[in-house]
Every structure is written in C-alpha cells, then in structure tokens.
Amino acid sequence: MSGRLRIGAQAASVALVAALLGLLIWKIAQGESEVTSELRSGGTPAAPAFRLERLNGEGELALDSLRGRTIVINFWASYCGPCKEETPLLQQASKRWQGKGVVFLGVDVQDVRGDARSFLARYGVTYPNVYDGKGSTVGRYGVTGYPETYFVDAAGKVRYRIAGAVQDAAEIDDGIKRALAPA
C-alpha cells in the first residue's frame, strides 16, 4: 500500500472513531434534560415549548398560549396504574383552582389515542389534555416515568416537579403555591 493511501485510510479511520465518539457523547447528553438538572441544582429552567393535538377538544394547543398563568403540567398514560389513582385528585384540584390564574394541562404520552380519550371520559377529566404519542416532550422535560407533574409559573419557568403520582390534594396545592410565589 502506498504511503499516501495508508495515511488516507488512517485519517478516515480516526474520523470515523471521532464521529462515533461524538454520537455517544451526544446520546449521553440527551439522557439528562436541562429541566431536571437545573431543578436539581435549585434553578428555575424555562418550560420547553410544545404544540400538540388536543385530546378533549379540537385542534392543537401550544404551551405558549397559556403564558401569564400558573400551569400544572401532568404527564400520564392510560396504561399507567398510578395515573388512574392521581387523576381524580388532579381533576378536583383543577376545579378548586379554577378562576385563580391556575391552569391544569394533561400530556398523554406514548399511548394509544383511543385509550387516552376513554381514560379522560372514564375519569371525567375536563381540563385540557394534549396527545404526545411520539413522546417528543419526554426527553426535553426529563420525564423518567409516568406520571410526573411539573409546576410552571406565569413567566414560563418550571418551579417544582413531582416524580410519580401525587399523593393528596395538599401536595398539589403545595406545588401550585411554589409556582405562585415570587421568584
């Protein structure tokens, strides 16, 4: 093999290894979302924007359209057991906080659309819910399992997060009060 050919092959090999290494680092970095890492360090990260199809209503709903209000974002799926237990609590809380500048928003993730609609009907959910079958919000919010609830303040910053099912009304109210508190 001539020297030039050998150097070319070596350069190509090094470039390939570097590209694979870069891909690995990128993949690892994707695993930890900025939202969860900032929350953990006491920060208030911006809630990642999304625009998704409504499940109980027509058209799409953009998170930005709710700016100026405190938003309780609940990530759920119809096949998730704890979601069934906490949904009545969320529905009751949404009624309790109605007209007080607080909006509840459900995000059904990686679920069968028909199942999600049946779930909402079964539990009498009236607050807006959107459908994220592809799970596009999961990585950006750092959702590690269902359900998870994020409390976003009027400026669009995530102030608090509950991983797992909310246990009672007081826990929801506590999250809302944190989001309502001055930054």
Partner 1 sequence: MRLVAVVLLAVALAGPAVASESKPTSAEVESEVVCPVCDTTLDTSDSPAARRLKVYIRARIAAGDTKSEIKAKLVDQFGPTILAVPPRKGFDLVAWLLPLAGLAVGVAAVGALAWRWSRGKGDEPPSGRTPGPLDPALERRLDDELARFE
Contact residues for partner 1 (CB under 8 A)?
Answer: 1, 77-81, 110-113, 115, 133-135
| Cβ contact 135:110 at 8 Å | yes
Q: Please report, for residues 48, 103, 107, 134, 137, the alpha-carbon distance to residue 52 in angstroms, rounded to integers and kept in the order given.
A: 13, 16, 9, 11, 10
Shortest distance (Å) from residue 180 CB to partner 1: 33
Shortest distance (Å) from residue 88 CB to partner 1: 19
Quote the DSSP letter at residue 167. Answer: -
Using the minimum distance from each CB to partner 1, give the nearer residue, 63 or 77. 77
Using the minimum distance from each CB to partner 1, give the nearer residue, 1 or 170. 1
| Cβ contact 138:52 at 8 Å | no
| Cβ contact 72:91 at 8 Å | no
Shortest distance (Å) from residue 118 CB to partner 1: 12
Using the minimum distance from each CB to partner 1, give the nearer residue, 84 or 157. 84
Shortest distance (Å) from residue 45 CB to partner 1: 24
